[in-house]
Chains A and B, each alone.
Chain A
Amino acid sequence: MKIRIFLLLALIIWGTPELATAATFYERMRDETLQEMLLDRNLKPSVEDIVAEFVTKVVSPADPKISAGGVDLALQRKWNAFCTNKTTGEPMDIGFCTSYVDRIRVYAGAEERIRTLGRDLQLIAASYELPIDGYPGRVTTLPSRYKSLVNLWRAGHQESADQDGTFRAQPLPNDKDTLWKDLVKKLEESLDKLSKEERTAAVWRYQHGARFVAEERKEYPLPLKADTASLPGTERQYLFKRWDGKNKTENLEKALKELWNRLKTDAKNFQPPLVIGDIVFYPEIKLGDITGWVFLEVLPPISWGGAPVISGDAGLQWKNPMEPVLPALFSDKSPGIALFGGAYPPELRDGAGLCTFPFAKLGYLCRPIEQAAGIECDEEPGVKKTPGTITLTRCRTGTERMTDSGPNICRDVLWQTPPQGAEEQKQTASCAECKVIFECKAACGPKDGTVPVKDAKGEIKICTTGTRALPPLYSMMHDLVLSQRLCGAPAGTALYGKTDTAACCMVEKDAFAVACEAVQKDGLFDNTKTSILPEISLQDCVDYFANAACAKGTNAICTTKPVNPLRQKQIVDALGKAKLKSLSCQALTDPTKSPDPRLQGLRDGLKNICNPECQTKYANTIGNSMCYIGQCIEQSFEEHRLMPGRTAFTVQDEAFPWDSCAAADPAFASFMTPPPVTGTSFPSYRPGWIIQKIDTALCQVNGLPPQSAAILCETNALRRLEVPLETSLENTMHLINQIIERRHPAEQIKRLAPGLGTRVGTTLYVNYLRVAGRALGEITAIAAELLGNLTEIKFPTELCPRDGAGSKALKAHQLCAAIGATSAKPSGTTSPAPSP
């Protein structure tokens, strides 16, 4: 019996699947189409409840009052039920009732059409934004994918020297965390209590975070204030409404901030500990068709020496953003009062909070596109600007990214994890081949060394003073680069001879390039463009300082022509202003703090990395491993290959007799050229041009040349009267049929427009990805080829015998079999086999 009941229930549920599950994405699309057709789910004529209510308020005051149900009756053309006056109970005049029904149908249809248009536009915009907005829980998440790749490939303890911050992912608290569960439930309940319209508005309102809306994120411009046309009681009332518990509203802001606070308490237990610039992301908080999101962001301390500030936010997003904030139909201030509107949507203004989300602030709308020095800074290179063009991007030129190897590969990248604890610090110090000591003095006298020299104790003492042109931070970077050259050298080694200006220029240019690049990245040369001179470039800075360091009277010893005196003054002035704000020498030499990761990176470059007795710690990334490998190769070159006694007598001589029997050089990577650094540009947006295209298409459909205004291309309704037919009946029928003639091209254009829009959108993508993706593609291809080549290398399993080995030993060796055969002596003298 029980089984039969179970089977019966299962059959009922199976037969009516809508009972078992909530509306799916497709079902919601179907509902929207049904609403457009003025039908409900049961295919009965009907409109949304709020539209029906609105229609009852907008009919003429002289008309008989109707209820929301009455609107449905009018749509269903139930004459008997509708055409009875609800107040008097008497039947209406049938002629009046017919026109009344038609008016109601027109009102309801027009309002529903507007709402459908809003939803369609929302759908199109959302579909393009969804893959790139970076919110958790998306099927396609390009921003997080990019970041993940950068994390895997990056070199450095932090993502870059610019302190852009590292993105981390953390799980949400598990089910055992009752506090967390309660907070989520509270938020869910608050959302459920809102009306459908308010719920929609609330999600959009907190899409950039509750703390941002509450003006608690001071690091960003404050959110926009409501203008007079957006106050409560207007059709834009929901755009600026807050659900903060005031005026009897649900307190969504508190619920969201509590979620953020709860996760913030975990932040101090993270391993490795959070550092400035770190951003911690959490998975989506599932709230039905809504997604909750939280992230933490570590900001610099408010004052020097203070603790870093943990900021971040918590907000809401749609899983599938299908419903926009439609114009309000009823006043929030005075319930029941219909709003007639006409001022929707508002003009777009900056400051809507788009750039507060970590992924979004890296996008083209929130920061200028950087062009390398020497590349023309054009938002869209090679495209002539046409009227009506909207350029979505800004451009900044002069950015120089140095990747050439110097005395130490990765020298200005903080790729090693700083030693933790006294024991590790002690061990690290013992592994350094030298110790750089900065002496902070008011002025450096003639006895104080400004050019580094390594003494017998392995110490390099450098006098640092605030009177130098470069601020202390950059001055110390320069000194550390010079010190790296001396660190492994014997005590007393000079960097360059006193009269060897060529060597001086080479060494100083290299050191000042690092310092000047840091100056430029920190924006100290921004806004230095004048009517005569362009903005100070990296090259200007390097030339000026190298000349100053090596010149003895002349000004252009390291350059082909002297640096413009005006330019020199500009550089000194720009750096002079920066010195006022920069950290002092004492603060920078504090060993317990690393105020700038670039400085720490240069200090790490002094360590003897490849010493088997020294431990090196770094995050497991491809770039860091390559830094380590590169450093070891560099040390190998520097310390072993050029040992005295092993150098060939003349060029191309063999150092050893079996060099010639070595396998041919596979010449991997010999013909590979890294792709040039090309500027990224985003194509211009030309809505006016698109409208012109549609107008032209409308004229083409009607077989006419383009006209302005395009409405002139519509079928001329009066043409039949100019050339009448034989009978008036034929004329009348033809005039009636003209409605179809007019409707047909309009429908065609309606179908054409989305396709045209899609193609325009695709073209924007293609033009962008063609440039942006090419460099990545080429680098990936080169990496793939190199790694593929590495697998082809055959390593020998035995060492070659040393010079003096007998023929037997040579014969026994695989690699040297050929030479062994040629040098074998008939006397049979043998030598013992070499030790492995």
Chain B
Amino acid sequence: MIGSDPTSLQKEPAICLPVRSPAEVGTKAGCLFARFSFLVRKARLLVRNKKQKTNKRKTFLSARSVCIATIPVAVAFVTTIAYGQPFLPGHKAYPVLGACESSEDAFPPGRYLMIKDPINRLSQDYHSTVSSIVEAHLKPRTIRCTEDVREVPSGELSALAAKLPPWKDSEDRTGLRETDIGVVLLEYLRVYECALNEQRFFLPSRVAQDVQKDSVVGIFDHLTTFGDRLKRIKQELFLARMTLDRTLTYLGGMDRLRPVDASLECLQRSSLDIRNILGLTADVSACLPRAWDARTSLRDPPNSSSGSQ
């Protein structure tokens, strides 16, 4: 029964933060519910203490409790309408593998504004991102020995993973390791190829739109641009996969012993601790012949006041 334990009033629920994503709607609802319950219990306690139990007040409190109880139902109803499916804890509001289409998260249109050609812009974005991730991978890494020998992913890798469907949820990124670079880059390549294929699919209309805006010549410009872009898309589809294949072949071979190396580094760190501990123990053990069997004649001789001892 709500408010049956007055001592629980000592713990006031935290202030509910604003909702930032659909996944947080349920949390928010729960939080609001907890705060309202707290207020109700507080009010009841006050009422009880001041002995002002009037019928009107009882009616008011009952009505309010009913209202509060309907909030979660309302929230569930709203989310069902908004997202097409009921919200359930642990359930993602989006598929883990995204559709094969252009992604503004992975390729923000605001980047590389100076490059007008959309294929070149995509290409520049993709290759520079992969390049920075690979460079970061080749630099000295950070290992967390206390987290099951986890290699902390570089900032570049984490940033890219956060844009891709399988790791968009922060919960899914908690176990991300630097050694997952291959998986993340292959997923990024898939998204890139999808973006290129979408460009190819809509190429006639998009070229028509771009040429009409920028040129007055007409059909010849249209055909030239169309041909150039189509060729670039085909080149990129081969180039991107082949280059990543080569890169991952090299990194894969190189990283094959990386987990062993990481474990050995942790062993090395713990060995330093053990060395320090044993150094101190060795210092103490210098007195061991005296301390080992303290009941022998090596015990400190008795002073005059200790009698027979």
A binding-site residues for B, Cβ under 8 Å: 11, 15, 17, 24-27, 29-30, 32-34, 36-37, 39, 43, 120, 123-124, 126-128, 130-132, 139-142, 145-146, 148-149, 152-153, 320, 322, 610, 612, 620-622, 625-626, 628-629, 632-633, 635-637, 639-641, 643, 646, 655-656, 754, 758, 761-762, 765, 769, 773, 780, 783, 787, 799-802, 804-805, 831-832, 834-835
Contact = CB atoms under 8 A, between A and B. Distances in A.
A127 B292 contact: no
Interface stretch (B160-168, B206-214, B261-269): B261-269
A149 B268 contact: yes
A24 B131 contact: yes
Q: How large is the interface on B (under 10, 10 to 19, 20 to 34, 35 or more residues)?
A: 35 or more
Given A26-B135, A30-B127, A153-B271, A124 B253 contact: yes
Contacts of A761: 253, 256
B309 A26 contact: no
Contacts of A629: 278, 281-282, 285, 288
A26 B130 contact: yes
15 contacts: A17-B128, A24-B131, A26-B135, A30-B243, A124-B253, A139-B140, A142-B261, A610-B285, A612-B287, A622-B274, A641-B296, A656-B295, A799-B295, A801-B309, A834-B309
**Nearest 4 pairs between A and B by C-beta?**
A127-B253, A625-B278, A26-B131, A636-B292
B269 to A, nearest CB: 10
Looking at A25, A637, A783, which has the most chain B CB atoms within 10 Å of its CB? Answer: A25
A636 B298 CA distance: 11
Contacts of B275: 152, 620-622, 625
B261 A131 contact: yes
A377 to B, nearest CB: 27
A37 B272 CA distance: 52
Contacts of B216: none
Contacts of B256: 128, 131, 761-762, 765
B204 to A, nearest CB: 22
Nearest to A618: B282
A769 B286 CA distance: 40
Contacts of B39: none
Interface string B113-124: 011000000000
A501 B238 CA distance: 84
B153 to A, nearest CB: 15
Contact of B239 (A33, A126, A640, A656): A33
Q: Is the interface of A mostly helix, strand, loop or mixed?
A: helix
A33 B265 CA distance: 36
A25 B251 CA distance: 11
Contacts of A139: 138-141, 254
B306 interface: yes
A373 B135 CA distance: 49
B238 A37 contact: yes
A131 B309 contact: no
Nearest to A621: B275
Looking at A43, A758, A765, which has the most chain B CB atoms within 10 Å of its CB? Answer: A43
Contacts of A146: 264
Interface in B213-259: 232, 235, 238-239, 242-243, 245-247, 249-258
Contact of B309 (A149, A636, A805): A805
Given A758-B252, A832-B307, A33 B294 contact: no
A33 B282 CA distance: 60
A273 to B, nearest CB: 23
B49 interface: no
A168 B271 CA distance: 18
B300 interface: yes
A471 B127 CA distance: 70
A835 B306 contact: yes
B292 A641 contact: yes
Interface of B: 112, 114-115, 127-128, 130-132, 134-135, 138-141, 232, 235, 238-239, 242-243, 245-247, 249-258, 260-261, 264-265, 267-268, 271-272, 274-275, 277-279, 281-282, 285-290, 292-300, 302-303, 305-309
B286 A612 contact: yes
Contacts of B307: 831-832
Given A127-B254, A610-B289, A625-B282, A24 B135 contact: yes
B182 to A, nearest CB: 12
Contact of A120 (B246, B268, B303): B246
Contact of A142 (B243, B260, B274, B300): B260
Looking at A145, A322, A800, which has the most chain B CB atoms within 10 Å of its CB? Answer: A145
Contact of A43 (B235, B260, B308): B235
Nearest to A622: B275
A800 B294 CA distance: 8
A632 B112 CA distance: 71
B295 A802 contact: yes
A544 B299 CA distance: 48
Given A142-B264, A640-B289, A37 B235 contact: yes
Nearest to A780: B267
B287 A148 contact: no
A633 B285 contact: yes
A145 B264 contact: yes
A250 to B, nearest CB: 29
Given A145-B261, A149-B267, A633-B285, 19 more contacts: A25-B131, A25-B135, A25-B138, A26-B127, A29-B247, A43-B235, A127-B250, A132-B257, A139-B139, A139-B141, A142-B264, A145-B265, A152-B271, A622-B271, A628-B282, A632-B285, A804-B309, A832-B306, A835-B300
A365 B301 CA distance: 65
B29 to A, nearest CB: 45
A754 B247 CA distance: 13
A514 to B, nearest CB: 25
A234 B201 CA distance: 53
A637 B289 CA distance: 8
Contacts of B300: 835
Nearest to A321: B250
Given A610-B285, A765-B256, A832-B309, A32 B264 contact: no
Given A24-B131, A628-B282, A37 B260 contact: no
A765 B257 contact: yes
Given A622-B278, A800-B295, A130 B254 contact: yes
Contact of B249 (A37, A123, A639): A123
A807 to B, nearest CB: 14
A643 B297 contact: yes
Contacts of A640: 289-290, 292-293, 296, 298
Contacts of A620: 275, 279
Contacts of A780: 267
A799 B290 CA distance: 12
Nearest to A777: B263
B273 to A, nearest CB: 9
Contacts of B131: 24-27
B239 A37 contact: yes
Contacts of B141: 139
A140 B128 contact: no
A754 B246 CA distance: 10
A625 B279 CA distance: 6
A641 B141 CA distance: 52
A403 B36 CA distance: 72
A146 B263 CA distance: 11
A714 to B, nearest CB: 24
B248 to A, nearest CB: 10
Contacts of A832: 305-307, 309
A127 B251 contact: yes
Contacts of B303: 835
Nearest to A17: B128
Contacts of A36: 242
B289 A639 contact: yes
Contacts of A641: 292-293, 296
B258 A140 contact: yes
Contact of A26 (B134, B249, B257, B282): B134
Nearest to A758: B252
